[in-house]
Chain A
Amino acid sequence: MEFTALLLAVTVVMLVAWRGPRKLALTLFAVVLIASVATYLHHATDTLKLSF
């Protein structure tokens, strides 16, 4: 679900970058980037099933 939300957020940022105010696009970009890094860190702490 979080990936669907992130991709939807990027679509919104793209539309704002194309049609909306520049400052809002930059702010939303920062929010999306932080959210994607947070999602990565959340998954990076999963237990790894190593083969050795």
Chain B
Amino acid sequence: MTRTLAITLNALSLYAVALVLAAAFAAQLLLHELPCPLCLLQRLQFTVLAIGPILNIRWGPRPSHYALSLLAAVTGAAFSTRQILLHIMPGDAGYGSALLGYHYYSWALIGFAAAIVLLAAILLFDRQFERDETAQQVAPGAFATTAVWLVIGLTALNVVSTLLECGFGACAENPVFYELLKHGA
């Protein structure tokens, strides 16, 4: 695998993270399902997952950048497992609605597990880490640059929505309204 292909795959992974963040926003805005504290932590870990690919696109692929994403995926998997276990008892309806039979935290665990496997798979290809000292560093293309700014933009939007939801205090365990909008009404 060449460096160019690895960078393209990293950009694709950023689009995948952007898709997850957009889907979470869709559930929040269209279905009016506000994320709980554990849900917010899982959303946060998806954004942390994107830092490794951004570094890979900027500085070139390095094992340390993939390691960052692995750490984020493992902690995200732990958080989603915790929420699955909270609702494991028979008769428990779970938190929020289900998508294709699985709640969002179950999908989050699947997503983090897939990320771990894909990261391990891409680490198998050593050629991407070979550095040609004579070659000039090429600026990332429009495809990768768009992916980076898309993820940064969606993360910034999450800052705004979380501030509206939680306000300046602790987030509600089972939020049903936006704390700041309630006070403004």
Residues of chain A having any CB pair with chain B under 8 Å = 1-4, 6-8, 10-11, 13-15, 17-18, 22, 25-26, 29, 32-33, 36-37, 39-40, 43-44, 46, 48, 50-52
Contact = CB atoms under 8 A, between A and B. Distances in A.
A40 B41 contact: yes
A33 B159 CA distance: 17
Nearest to B174: A49
A36 B45 contact: yes
Determine the main DSSP class of B at the interface with A.
helix
A18 to B, nearest CB: 5
A39 B41 contact: yes
B10 to A, nearest CB: 12
Contacts of A39: 41
Interface of B: 37-38, 40-41, 44-45, 47-48, 50-51, 54-55, 58-59, 64, 68, 71-72, 75, 78-79, 82, 86, 89, 91-92, 148, 151-152, 155-156, 158-159, 162-163, 166-171, 173
9 contacts: A1-B171, A3-B171, A4-B162, A10-B44, A18-B58, A18-B148, A36-B41, A40-B78, A51-B89
Contacts, number: 93
B71 to A, nearest CB: 6
B55 A25 contact: yes
A40 B92 CA distance: 22
Contacts of B55: 17, 22, 25
Contacts of A22: 55, 58-59
Contacts of B58: 17-18, 22
